Structure 1
Amino acid sequence: MNALERAKAALQFDDIYQSSASAALGEAFDSKVSVLDEASCQLQFKHVVKQSNVLNYRNSGDTVNVFRVFIDVGVRLLINKDSEVGEDPILQIEATYCVDYRITQASLQTDQEALDAFALENASYHLWPFWREFVMSQCSRMNVPKIPLPLRFIGSPSSETPTQD
């Protein structure tokens, strides 16, 4: 069984939440009067598995073992000026998510190869629907056109091997 399969067999999704979030419109952009032309806009994305760690805590007398993955995600909208992309975004939405998994096989706690493979290859799939909904709702709240992220996560997050605490 390869490292990713070992992790899949020993982890059960438990929880997902934002540990930080920010959203901002550029100072020069007024969503009531500015018109966005798709041809003059460029989207940039951020998606980084930042860190992961194994947590052990007591709950009603039982020891609970959790594998937590921290993922930074972001999207920003830039305006092309004279066929060059501007540096200041007119819209930027970013968040850090914690994705928790119950460890169901104690041997996984010391299997760093399996934990890293899972953090880099699977955690983003569980995060994606939450991130997608957050971007869409933030766009609505900020009175800008919704940024339609794909229905499912495509590709690998740009990251190094996540740091283990």
Structure 2
Amino acid sequence: MTTNLELAGKVARNVELDAINLRYAKVESGCEPGDLPEELSVDVQYRTSINHRHRKDEPSSPELAVMVDFRFHVHGAGEEVPAEILSLEASYLLTYLLNPEATLEEDCFKHFAEVNGPYNAWPYWRELVQSVTGRVGLPGFVVPVFRPASVEVEGSTKKPPPTA
């Protein structure tokens, strides 16, 4: 049986990270710094997507565009209807240059986006969360280090779609 980390590693050995760009950020704060509940509940989520494309300046050079969408929500804990104290959402676009000679299964790219996308964007996300939580009057929140989980997956056999 193969793991998601092994499949992601096949792509990782054939790419170079070119850019990390913040594409979207939204903050909504309903907190009054002196009026915070004693207990807070924190929820952190993310999702990824991937797109195969060619560089505009070099049409023969393939690249991967991985979008990572993050969500951070803080609610009052122990309340019947928890008050939302903070909502922070952000999307990062990561661009990887792909070795044009690499021939990899499509499943490898999916697992690469799910593992490497968040892993590479995570430091930027951590900094944004810590900065924003302090600026809205909450104690600065430090997001833990990202540790991708190893999960067994079925073997992959599909080839990547042709790129234009």
Structures share fold, TM-score greater than 0.5: yes
CA distance in structure 1 between the partners assigned to 2:90 and 2:45 by the alignment: 10
Unaligned 5+ segments in structure 2 are 150-160
Aligned counterparts, 1:1-165, within 5 A: 3-26=7-30, 29-31=31-33, 33-37=34-38, 40-49=39-48, 51-59=49-57, 63-82=60-79, 84=80, 86=82, 88-108=83-103, 111-150=105-144, 152-156=145-149
Read off the aligned partner of 2:32 and give its amino acid letter: D
Unaligned 5+ segments in structure 1 are 157-163
Q: CA deviation at 1:89?
A: 1.2
Q: Is contact 2:68–2:92 with CA below 8 Å preserved after alignment? A: yes
Aligned residues: 147
Q: CA deviation at 1:144?
A: 1.8
CA distance in structure 2 between the partners assigned to 1:131 and 1:19 by the alignment: 12
Map Cα deviations across residues 11-65 of structure 1 (whole Å, 9 max, x no partner): 1111111111111112xx322x31442xx2111111111x210111332x56332
Q: CA deviation at 1:139?
A: 1.5
Q: Is contact 1:42–1:85 with CA below 8 Å preserved after alignment? A: no
Identity of aligned residues (%): 20
Read off the aligned partner of 1:115 and give its amino acid letter: F
CA distance in structure 2 between the partners assigned to 1:44 and 1:124 by the alignment: 16
Helix, strand or coil for the counterpart of 2:13?
helix
TM-score if structure 1 supplies the norm length? 0.77
